[in-house]
Structure 1
Amino acid sequence: MPIEQRVISSSKIGAKNAQPAAGLKPAEEPPAKGKGKRVKLLVLGAVLLVVLGAAAAYLGGVFDRGAAAEPSAPPPPTPGEVLAVEPVSLNLAGGHYLRIGLGLQLTTDVHEAPDPSKAVDVAIALFSGRSMEEVSDPATRDALKAQLAEQLVEVYEGEVMDVYLTNFVTQ
């Protein structure tokens, strides 16, 4: 037959300061309050991270759409016909000269051939007074041609997109 054991105490059941009866160990209380707070903080942190991530994704999309709404760079011009410029003789340093002919690559937007005298003027300003060795060097000649092309694009306000050297003789 099992033995029944009873605990008699003067305090009320559930009281915090209750003393265990002699010889009995107090029942271990589960640390529910400490774990509960930790779990709540972890859940709150996870929710906060999700909300911040969604806000960042939304704002990033807004900023990307705003950047896309800005006008993009205009497409490169389409090449049209080439306008041949009669060769001209330019004075170089040391009594030498350069005979240079140009071909102006026009864009398709040009409906009437532009005046080639602007191109001759820019070429004279760029090549005159240089040494024969300088204009004969292929690397320098290419750099001068690129500079001439840039200046012609500006002078002709986008009607000319490139330049070709059709005649280049030094003496």
Structure 2
Amino acid sequence: MSKDKDKDKATETDEEAPKGKKKLFLIIGVAVLAIAGAAYFFVFSGGEAEAAAPEHGGYTALEPIAVNLAGGGYLKIGITLDYTLAAAGGGHGGGGVDGAKAYDAIISTFSQAKPADVISARDALKEALEQKIIAAYTEHDVPMVMGIYYTEYVTQ
């Protein structure tokens, strides 16, 4: 009978040894994957943050323009373009942006709007205009304009 007990103990220890090694390898594997994931996140997330936030380069104020509205009346609008350091010539003076594309975006955005829209949806129209201008001034995935500001907004 004592031999049966010894056989049971021997089989239990033989089975526990591989299970212990499996757990150890599993824990080490999970730790290695966690460290690799953290390293990947920290290494590659820095480049995206820089691309998402361009540096300010200056301002270009555009002369106000009168736009005929779709339902009659007109809007006199002036904007200032907030351009990036890339548009400023990399910070070496000169540069800036030309207003031709911005004027085109203003005319195409507001000539389709009705007088009531211009009054009630001012912020939505500004957001749409800003997105059009940023897209128009993006060259090779590098934005030249990062925002706009209204300097004049008069309807009649």
Report the TM-score, using the length of structure 2 for normalisation. Answer: 0.80
Aligned residues: 142
**Which amino acid in the other structure matches residue 40 of structure 1?**
D
The aligned residue for residue 12 of structure 1 is none
**Aligned pairs (5 A) from 1:67-78:** 67-70=41-44, 72-75=47-50, 76-78=53-55
Per-residue displacement from partner, 1:22-76 (whole Å, max 9, x unpaired)? xxxxxx5251101221122123212210112112322343344345554731521
Bigger Cα Rg: 1
1:100: Cα distance to partner? 0.5
The aligned residue for residue 152 of structure 1 is 133
Range with bigger deviation, 31-40 or 64-73: 64-73
* Contact 2:64/2:76, CA 8 A, preserved across alignment: yes
SS in 2 for 1:113: coil
**Which amino acid in the other structure matches residue 26 of structure 2?**
L
SS in 2 for 1:73: helix
Equivalent-residue separation in structure 2 for 1:68 and 1:113 (angstroms)? 34
The aligned residue for residue 29 of structure 1 is 2
The aligned residue for residue 113 of structure 2 is 130
In structure 1, stretches of 5+ residues that fail to align are 1-27
Per-residue displacement from partner, 1:81-109 (whole Å, max 9, x unpaired)? 21110111111122211110010011123
The structure with the greater share of residues assigned to helix is: 2
In structure 2, stretches of 5+ residues that fail to align are 90-94
**How well do the aligned residues superpose, as a CA RMSD in angstroms?**
1.9
Note closer, same or farther for the CA distance 1:66–1:79 as it changes in structure 2 (3 Å cut).
Answer: closer
Report the TM-score, using the length of structure 1 for normalisation. Answer: 0.74
**Which amino acid in the other structure matches residue 165 of structure 1?**
Y
The aligned residue for residue 25 of structure 2 is 51
